[in-house]
Amino acid sequence: MSFVFNADEIFAVAEQIEKNGAQFYRKSAQQVQDSSAKELLLEFASMEDDHLKTFSSMRSALSEAEKKAMTFDPTNEAALYLNSLANTKVFFEKRVDVSTLQGIFTAAMTAEKDSIAFYLGMMDFVPASAGRERIHHIIQEEMRHIRILGDKLAALKK
């Protein structure tokens, strides 16, 4: 079966990815001993929480047309597919070296890049009339995260 996703479905996945990201950062913070590193990881978790709020707000602002199902899907396969992607391919099911902050940041950057790739790929499934341009907001937020993580990783290497 072929699916066409609407902006509402994509934002639901974005919300799950952000929840997973916050959980990743909080769990990573529990793994490190250095108090400043813990604080930094918890700051990233907080940013993920802020992204979740942003995406939730953007989702709630969608019009009814943007929330309308684009494909007949009586068994809810599209939502199951999107949830599976969100829960297995971005922040979860990755081998993460949590023995160093560098390993954690490297894994986080990879996950953030994967989320961008996910959103870019999903844009092909969202018709312009269903709010495709809103996906750009998600990508911009994730790109900002990568810049911050990259700066922190570079500072560690000095």
Q: Hey, where are the domains in the chain?
A: 7-157
Residue 75 pLDDT: 64
Q: 99-124 pLDDT, tens per residue? A: 788 888 888 898 888 888 888 877 77
Distance CA(72)–CA(52), nearest Å, equals 28
Residue 81 pLDDT: 65
- Across 134-150, average pLDDT: 87
* pTM for the model: 0.75
Return the C-alpha torsion angle 29, 34, 39, 44, nearest 10: -50
Residue 8 pLDDT: 78
Q: 36-94 pLDDT, tens per residue? A: 888 989 998 998 899 899 888 888 887 777 666 655 555 666 666 666 666 555 555 55
DSSP annotation of 70 reads S
Surface-to-core class of residue 67, CB atoms within 10 Å of its CB (0-12 exposed, 13-18 middle, 19+ buried): middle
Does residue 68 come out as left (phi exceeding 0), alpha (psi in the -120 to 50 range) or beta? beta
- Evaluate the CA torsion angle 27, 32, 35, 40 in order and state its sign: negative
Surface-to-core class of residue 55, CB atoms within 10 Å of its CB (0-12 exposed, 13-18 middle, 19+ buried): buried
Distance CA(2)–CA(60), nearest Å, equals 26
What is the rounded end-to-end Cα distance, in angstroms, of the chain? Answer: 51
Which CATH code of 3.40.50.300, 1.20.1260.10, 1.10.10.10, 2.40.10.10 fits the domain covering 7-157? Answer: 1.20.1260.10
Q: Are 122 and 56 in contact, with CB atoms under 8 Å apart?
A: no
Instruction: Report the Cα 15 to chain-centroid distance in Å.
Output: 7
Structure tokens at 7: 């902006």
